[in-house]
Structure 1
Amino acid sequence: MRGMVLAILKFLAISVAITGAIALILIASERPGRLSGTAGLDFSGPLSAAGTPAQPQETVPLRDGFGMQVRSYDSGRESAPLLVLVHGSGWHGLQFDALARRLSARADVLVPDLRGHGAQPGKRGDLAYIGQFEDDLADLINARRKPGQKLILGGHSSGGGLVVRFAGGPYGDMLDGAVLLAPFLKHNAPTTRPNSGGWAQPLTRRIIGLSILNTFRITALNHLTVMQFNMPQAVLDGPLGDTATTAYSYRLNTSYAPRGDYLADVAALPPFLLVAGEADEAFDAAAYQPVMQAVTDKGRYLLVPDTGHLAIVDAPETANAIEGFLDDF
C-alpha cells in the first residue's frame, strides 16, 4: 500500500514538473518586439483634442497609498447619480473630457487614469496583482460616492470589459447601472476581431505559459509583458506621447478583461446601455446583442452608423443615448 502511494506521488511530482517545464519554455520562447506603428485604430480624434484645455486632475489616495489621478465633473445637483468612466487600453481618462463635460449636466462624473496609465502611472503597464483594478475602482467610489447616491459604471473598449468584470466580481452589488462603449468581452468572444483589428498584439505563448503557472498559483512571473499595442507613431511623437502605454503585463492584462467565463460576468451586469459603431475596427458591433442577450435581458443596444472604435466616444448619438439612460436614475 505504501509503495502504491509513493508511486502515485512520484507520478504526480513528475507530471507537475513536466507541466511547469513546458510553461517556462513557452514563456521564454516569446519576447516583446517592435511594432510598425502604422496599423490598428484611428487616433485622429484623440490627436485633435490634444491641444484643448482639459479638466484638471486631482489625487485620490487608494488603499495601498497609490495616488489615483482623477478628473471630476460636478453636476451641482443633490439628486444626481454618480457616473464613473473607465478609459480603454493604451490611453487614459482624457479621452472622456468632452463627453464628461456634457454628461455633468445629469450626473456627477469621475474619470480616473487607471493604475499603470496616464501621466502618473506608478509602474507603467503594470499593477501589483490580478484584480487590483477592481479594488482601485471600489476605493474611488467609496471615497467620492454620496450616501444613497446611485452608481453607474461606464467604460470604453477594455474599460468596458473592466466594467463587465467588476459586475461579476466581489463589488458587483455596488452597481445600479452600467454604460458599455464598444466593450472588450474576451479574446475568443464572437464580438472580437482578430487581434482587435490589428491594435492588440498578444504574446500568445507567454500568455499560455503564465496561465499554466497561475493554475498552480505560481505568480512570480506575472510582471512579464504579454500584450503590446500598435500605437500610431504620430501619437507617440505628439504632445501626449509620454502618457501613452504601449505594453501590459500579464497581471494587468488579465485584470482589464472579464474572467474566462465572460458570459457569467455579462449575466451579472445591472441594467446597462451598450453603444458601438458599425464601422468599429476592433469589434463586430452587430454581434454584441445576440451574444449578450443569450444570458441577460437587462441591456439596451445602439449601433451608430459610419463610426469607428475610438470615434464612438465623442459621437453625438453616444451622448444622447447616455443622457437618456441617466434620466432613469
Structure 2
Amino acid sequence: MPMIDVFAHVLPPKFLAKMVAINPKILDQFPYMKNPLLTDMAKHLVSLPAGHQQVISAVNLNPEDFVDSEQAADLCRSANEEIAAMVQNNRAIFPAGVAMLPMNNIPAALRLIDEQIVGSHELVGVQLFTQALGKPITDAAYEPIFAKLAAIGAPIWLHPVFDTAKTDNNITFSWEYELTQAMNGIVAAKYFRKYPTLKVIVHHAGAMVPFFSERIKYIQSAENYADFKAFYVDTAILGNPKALELAMDFFGNDHVLFGTDSPFGIPPVGPTAIIEQAVNAMRITASQKRQIFSDNWQQLTA
C-alpha cells in the first residue's frame, strides 16, 4: 500500500530563478525556502522513505506579492508547467501536482484553471492561501475561483500565510489561527451550501477547529457546525496521535488524509517518518489507517 502525502512542497527551480531575477534578495525574506530539498529533485526523491508518494504544491512564494497582474499570470502559468513536468518525470513518486494562481488577476486565474487543470492528468487542483493581497481568501473578489473549482470538482489546498496587519506573528501559532479564521470565513460565506461539490483540504489537521468544535456547536448555528465537517484535513502537525484522533473524531474517517508539510518541520529531511509513526499510533482500525494513508485520497480524486 503506497502512503500518499497530499501536502508536500517544492519550489520549481526555473520559477525560482525568475523570481530571483525580479528581486535578487527574495530568499532573504523567506530563508526557510533555501532548503535544497525544495528545488533539487534528486535530493528530494532520495530523502523520501520507501513506499511514499507525494502530491506536490509550491511554497508560498506568490507572484502577486511582487509583480503586476499580467506578469503574475505568466509566472504562475510557467510554474504550473514546471510542476506538471515534475509529475510527468517522476510519476511513481509524484502522482499529482497542485497549481498556482495569480490572485491579482482573477480572469487569468480562471483561464489557467480551464487551460491547465481541466482534463489534466498532472495538475488536479489549486493551492489558495488564507489571505491574498491583504484580503481574506473569502473576499468577494476571489469567490469566482471557489465557484469554478466546485463546478469542475477540483480540490482546493488551503495553506496559511501571516496576516501582515498583525505585529506579533509567529510560526508556532499564527498560521493555525489564520487557517481557523479562513475556515470560519468559508463557512460564514455559506460556500459549502452555495457550491455543494466544493472540496477544501485544510493544512495542519484543521488547525483549532477540532479542539474547539463544541464551541462551534453551541455558539454557531447547526448549519454552520455541519459545514465545518465538510472540510478535508491533513495530518501535518508533526506527530501527536491524540490530536490526530481528535481531528478524525470531528471531520470523520473519510475526511482525514496523510499530509506532512515536507520538507519543513523536522530537519534535515522533514517530518514524514514522524507523522507516519503518529498515524500508526492512533487508536483506530487498520482499515481507518488505510483510509488516511491512501484510500481517502483515491476517493477524493476519483
TM range (shorter): 0.3 to 0.5
TM-score using structure 1 length:
0.36
Larger helix share, 1 or 2: 2
TM-score using structure 2 length:
0.38
Structure possessing the higher radius of gyration over alpha carbons: 1
